[in-house]
Amino acid sequence: MEIVVCVKPVPESETRLRAASDGMSFDPEGVKFVLAGYDESAVEQALLLKEAVPGSKVHAVAFGPPPRTEEVLRAAIALGCDLATWVEGPAEPSPDPMTAARALARALGPVPHDLVLCGKQAGDDESGLVAAALGELLDIVDFGFVVDLRWDAARSCLTFRRGTEAGEEHWEAPLPAVIGLQQAWNDPRTAKLPAILKSRRAPIAKVPWTPFPPDVGRSVPEKFELPAPRTGARLIEYKTPLEAAEKLVRILREEAKVFP
């Protein structure tokens, strides 16, 4: 099975978030970037499938700026990926997820891909657009929010489950397919030191990126805001529980706008 796993560098989860000086986007200055959490699961799942299906190869692919994109590809190699391809994207402004998906799809065109695995979304922008967009651009089926992904060799199909509002769906799908993974069978492995050292010299295929024409939609960041520091609760004054409930619901709808 030719497995492709798409990976993205995101700020470490403990990062103290800061807006860039123009206030328009997240400031990546001095921030440590790591392999996105769900992508880590996708790599783990890719390696598990490779181990389960003899003759499989795992090819890690990423789109993004240096040096962080190259670093996460090396991390993927250290974990056990066989090949790596880097589509070098611009640092600023950071490309939106649809641009990333289009760039990845273009790079994947000539790459053999029976199964394309992605994390279901990245922990920074949380869009979850890439897997579905890749499915469309590669003209193959895609599924997001997937758990328990397995290869049924006897029937030559993938089986998996996904949680939806209606309950838990069980699916069978033949290859090729794109999967947006929620969870691998087990917790992602950690790379061993010799593998990390070896990954530093591993070859990475580089693919140039050229911007898409203006009639292809994209989104551009305009403002990045952090919540104001908390100063203690505003206590609701009331005489009866009903009055407390009415006041709170009104505040939540009209001031805080957290539910309609």
Partner 1 sequence: MTPRVLVVGELAGGHLSGASLEALGSALSLAGAASGVVGFLAGSGARAASAEFGRYGVSDLRCAEGTDYDSGPAARVAPAVVRAATDAGADTILVGGTTFGRDLIGRLAARWNAAAAAGVTELRAEGGGVRVRRPVFGGRATETRRLEGPRRVLALRPHAFPLPPEAPVEVRVSPVAVEETTAALRSAKRTAVSAVSSGSGPGLTDATIVVSGGRGLRSPENFRLIEELAQSLGAAVGASRAVTDAGWRPTSLQVGQTGKAVSPQLYVAVGISGAIQHLVGMVSSRVIVAINSDPSAPIFKVADYGIVGDLFEVVPALTAEVRRVRGL
Which positions from 196 through 225 interact with partner 1, judged by CB under 8 A?
214-225
Residue type, 187: D
For the CA atoms of 171, 177, 182, 186, what is the dihedral angle to 10 degrees? Answer: 90
- Of 92 and 126, nearer to partner 1 (C-beta) is 126
Count the residues of the shown chain that bind partner 1, applying the rule CB under 8 A: 91
248 binds partner 1 (CB under 8 A): yes
Q: Which of 30, 55, 110, 167 binds partner 1 (CB under 8 A)?
A: 167
Which one among 14, 54, 166, 193 touches partner 1, defined by CB under 8 A?
A: 166
What is the smallest separation between the CB atom of 88 and partner 1, expressed in angstroms?
22
Pick 65 or 123: Cβ nearer partner 1: 123
- Tell me the C-alpha distance between 162 and 177, whole Å: 15
- What angle do the packed helices 97-108 and 130-138 form, to 10 degrees? 40
74-103 residues in contact with partner 1 (CB under 8 A) are 96-98, 101-102
Backbone angles phi and psi of 145, in degrees to 5: 60, 35
* Binding of residue 30 to partner 1 (CB under 8 A): no
Separation in Å, CA 203 to CA 52, 90, 101, 235:
26, 21, 23, 60
Rule CB under 8 A: is residue 193 a binding residue for partner 1? no
Residues 107-146: x where in contact with partner 1 by CB under 8 A, - otherwise, as a string: ----------------xxxxxxxxxxxxxxx-xxxxxxx-
Min. distance of Cβ 49 from partner 1 in angstroms? Answer: 18
Query: Which tokens in the block code for residue 172?
Result: 């069978």
d(CA 236, CA 251): 10
Helices (H), 119-172: 130-138
